[in-house]
Amino acid sequence: MTATFTQQYINGRWKQGSSEKTVQNYNPYSNELIQTIQSANEDDLNEAYDYAEKAQSGWAALKPAEKQAYFDRLLKIMNDRKEEIVEWLVKESGSTKIKSQVEFQAALAIVKEASSFPTRMEGTILPSNVPGKDNYVHRSAKGVIGVIGPWNFPFHLALRSIAPAIATGNTVVVKPASDTPVTSGLLIADLFHEAGFPEGVINVLVGRGSEIGDAFVEHSTPKLISFTGSTEVGSHIGELAGKHLKDTALELGGNNAMLVLKDADIDRAVQAAAFGKFLHQGQICMSLNRILIHESIYDKFTEAFKNKVESLKAGDPADDDTVVGPVINQEAVERIQQDVDESVNQGARKLLGGKVEGNLMHPVVLSNVTNDMPIAKNEIFGPVAALIKVKDEEEAIQIANDSPYGLSGSIFTTDRYRGIEVAKRIETGMIHINDQSVNDEGHVAFGGEKQSGIGRFGGEWAIDKFTTVKWISVQSEYREYPF
């Protein structure tokens, strides 16, 4: 076990990175330097993939109960080290205590779900039109999986790929996000190490994308690349992988809408909207980007929402009562501020907010927003709520779909069956009626449409993604051939 997390983790051992470059890890709230990590280079990358490949067949051959025993130990260790995990999330990713608890529970749930996968690797027996033939469809691990972790929900979203991949018999090489190298990689490796997983099953390389990013994807060893992050980077990864006919699992950006229909319970919609918008400062792929409100209740909703958001404490994420902490870095602050300013110049009205202290942005509420403004067109990834007035349900559906993204969404209505009919018409991979858009359950299909990604995580969909099938036929009686 290492207390500083300043080294690479390859084949069950901690070692210094071989690059001359370093990754500096800063606390986004205080801007204090947490640590400096010697980066990995392509030599380290080749070594990690080589060890992962050597370890894979032996790991896959273990009995289901043996694999599950490792996961049982991992779950216990995660619970034992919960406070440490939460502390790292707070200081490395700017997560509030509330968000860190949510993230820990989500990560725990995905590991619990993955622990059931070794006994859920189902095959199929199919009939044949050939006399005496039996058709078997056998399911097995793909091999080595490359995982590129994100910085926003680093612990959970990295584990969402790592745990299912390993549980289905694969080994993994992980490249954590440079902004969160510990919580999206090194800390996870340490947990697996303490749980006693065999050498080479998980390997973690901290390095700059400019140095090892493309090589990580194009390397001949990994059979699938799993990436969670921006659509721009995901598109590049998909292009590189496609060139080598390599499979991908891509969970990308979102421009998620909440539709508040005219019969909605306004108070409940306001509470849900505040959570779905401002959890982790809106830095979640599923965060509410646009809140579309029927004109008959627009004024009432807007006033209630403004009052609710005004009550949210912004400040040090280490304080128990802080709801809104810092965004990840100064570049994010400047990008978000530019979209807010341009939208106000185009006619949006700032009802609340605007104060910026370093990377801490106090919540902003904008009314009179239209869907062509930057704050509505772009993925915000920050603590800004855009309120859009719609004349009817049809306009709400049209505006919700008027985006290249399609990840998550929300509908508020007292007529739940009407809500289902509206939900069917929204072009998105996930949508929630009388709830906000930030939902993730380990046993349910998770993923997006359009530019929000390819593939699904969770439950049987994760099993399908991280495994492959082979047709094996057996002739029980010799077959007659025409020549």
Q: pLDDT of 205-220, one tens digit each?
A: 999 888 999 999 999 9
Q: Does residue 110 surpass a pLDDT of 70? A: yes
Query: Which pLDDT tens digit goes with each residue over 225-236?
Result: 999 999 999 999
Residue 294 in tokens: 């029927």
Query: Measured between alpha carbons, how far is residue 31 from residues 71, 93, 155, 331 in Å?
Result: 36, 11, 21, 13
CATH topology of domain 8-252+452-471: Aldehyde Dehydrogenase; Chain A, domain 1 (3.40.605)
pLDDT value, residue 2: 46
Instruction: Report helix, strand or coil for 288.
Output: strand
CATH code for the part of the protein at 256-433:
3.40.309.10
Q: What is the 3-state secondary structure (H, E, C) of 425-470?
A: CCCCCCCEECCCCCCCCCCCCECCEECCEECCECHHHHHHHCEEEE
Question: Do β-strands 22-26 and 432-433 pair in parallel, antiparallel, or remain unpaired?
Answer: unpaired
Q: Does residue 241 surpass a pLDDT of 80? A: yes
Q: Confirm if 257 and 290 have CB atoms less than 8 A apart.
A: yes
The residue to which tokens 């919700």 are assigned: 400
Average pLDDT along the chain: 96
Give the CA count within 13 Å in the CB-facing half-sphere of 292.
26
Give the integer Cα–Cα distance in Å for 383 and 275.
11
First to last CA, the chain: 66
Select from 297, 332, 290 the least CA-distant residue to 151: 332
Q: Domain spans of the chain? A: 8-252+452-471, 256-433
Mean pLDDT of 164-189: 97
Q: Does residue 1 surpass a pLDDT of 60? A: no
pLDDT value, residue 3: 53
Give the integer Cα–Cα distance in Å for 276 and 288.
6
Residue 390: φ, ψ to 5°: -125, 150
Residue 306, amino acid? K
**Catalytic residue IDs:** 251
Write down the pTM of the prediction: 0.96
Give the integer Cα–Cα distance in Å for 403 and 406.
7
Ordered strands of the 467-475 beta sheet:
124-126, 133-141, 467-475
Beta strands in 116-170 (DSSP E): 124-126, 133-141, 144-148
Query: Which pLDDT tens digit goes with each residue over 26-77?
Result: 999 999 999 999 999 999 999 999 999 999 999 999 999 999 999 999 999 9
